[in-house]
Amino acid sequence: MDIEDRDIERELLAQELLELSEAYKEEPIGVGNLTVYLGYAPGVGKTYAMLYDAHLLKKEGIDIVVGYAETHQRPETDALLEGLEVIEPKVVEYKGLKLKEVDYESILSRKPQIVIIDELPHTNPPGFPEEKRYQSIKKVLDAGIDVFTAMNIQHLESLKDIVLQITGVEVKETVPDPFVKSAKEIKLIDLPPRDLLKRLKEGKVYVKDMAQEAVNRFFRIGNLIALRTLALRVLAEQLDERLKEYLRQRGFSGPLGFKEKLLVGIYASPYATQLVRATYRLSSELGGVEWIALYVETDRAKNFTEEEKNWLNKAIELTKRLGGRVEVLKGNNVAKEIINYAKREGITKIILGKPRREGAFAGGIYKDLILQTEGIDVYLIAPRGKKDMLPREESQSFWKKLLKKLKVHETLYGVL
């Protein structure tokens, strides 16, 4: 590390210290905030990071104690316990073993501003009022004490099946997603997979409770990359929600499209299922993001033929099979209903069927959708294999002239 890099590192540490301490000085103490230090595998440094932050906060006069820290006797982590107040764990006998468990009564009696309670997915031994550690932590939060805790991404309940598919290792202890996502902050503790594998070979990663075969299966470079990606996605989701809330508080009324969310307009048409399939493919290309099929029911629906009803029902059934959500609104101004729904629900991309003739645009639906959806991409999907479509050259000329006239720059999928 050269001099410039060290200067940058010192500046970042100073900024981190300032942000950590100011957060507790400016806000009312004792509001029961949860901070989760999230990793993608054992050995990335979650406990070390918690204890390191504890020293930063203590220097600023913040009352922080250690309720439980699993150092696995790593010398560099054990060293960080020095100088911190540690609430001694209680000893519980279970099947002839003496287990060290968190002394919640002492924590509640001591009532610090912040307490560190490591190993969030842990299962409490018999005799505890709560079955899981996260349930016990909730009681601490309810008492007005902030909690720092740590876990790996494979212990998130909703990812249990995915982790089994990726690693071949079944995770026994999990934490419900709502509890983790209720955290005021999720701190990603990251380490490049190859550096983690190096730590594993050096004996610095605690895997005592894992059979060697499980270790070999789990700590593969591909598995670690996949788990790291899952952790990054969870962090991105939380940051996305925080950013949306920040903008809402400041009166931002536009679409909050930092996380992709697709909307396809369906109707009683033989092309409706094509639109649904195209939307599903786009959702998959974007990483399996949320997508919704919206049908605006107008007065004309009363006179639908059986064939038209069949077209619409097929599109709705296909949406459900492919994992999309179906919404039905009533109103005769189709464009207005779509626009209002898109803005209200934070839609980032609207998918519609491309009009097959210039006269279809004159009705105003497409014009309104393009001009009144600032910040939302509009995708127009061309029906396939129909003789009554505009020739490609004529179609390109029409849309280029139209966009130039409107003076907008929208994404037209499958048109130009």
Please report the DSSP string for 249-298 in residue order.
Answer: HTT--S--TTS-EEEEEE-SSTTHHHHHHHHHHHHHHTTS-EEEEEEEE-
Which pLDDT does position 210 carry in this prediction? 61
Angle in degrees, 0-180, between the axes of helices 306-321 and 272-285, rounded to the nearest 10:
10
Most confident of 82-91, 155-164, 174-183: 82-91
- CA 136 to chain centroid, in Å, comes to 25
Please report the pLDDT score of residue 1 as a whole number. 42
Q: Which domains does the chain have, with CATH numbers?
A: 28-249 (3.40.50.300), 261-406 (3.40.50.620)
CA distance 347 to 356: 25
- CA-to-CA separations, 75 to 72, 80, 82, 184, in angstroms, rounded: 9, 9, 11, 30
Interatomic CA distance for residues 362 and 120, integer angstroms: 60
| 9-18, 62-71, 247-256, 263-272, range with the lowest pLDDT | 9-18
Rg (CA), the chain: 28
Confirm if 168 and 215 have CB atoms less than 8 A apart: no
State the pLDDT at residue 259.
74
- What confidence category does residue 43 fall into, taking pLDDT thresholds of 50, 70 and 90? very high
The Cα 373–Cα 411 span in angstroms is: 12
Per-residue pLDDT, 246: 77
Distance between CA 92 and CA 110 in Å, rounded?
A: 21
Q: How confident is the model at residue 153 (pLDDT cuts 50, 70, 90)?
A: very high
Whether 234 shows a pLDDT value over 90: the answer reads no
Q: What is the pLDDT of residue 165?
A: 79
Model confidence at 211, pLDDT cuts 50, 70, 90, reads low
Share of the chain above pLDDT 90, in %: 45
Q: How many CB atoms lie within 10 A of CB 323?
A: 12
Per residue in 2-36, pLDDT tens?
444 445 444 555 555 566 556 555 555 546 999 99
The residue assigned the tokens 């003496």 is: 98
Overall average pLDDT of the 222-235 stretch: 91
By CB atoms closer than 10 A (0-12, 13-18, 19+), residue 289 is middle
Strand 97-101 with 90-94, pairing: antiparallel
The per-residue pLDDT for range 85-114, each reduced to its tens digit, is 999 999 888 777 888 999 999 999 999 999
Question: Each residue of 368-382: pLDDT tens digit?
Answer: 888 888 889 999 888
pLDDT tier for residue 388 given thresholds of 50, 70 and 90: very low
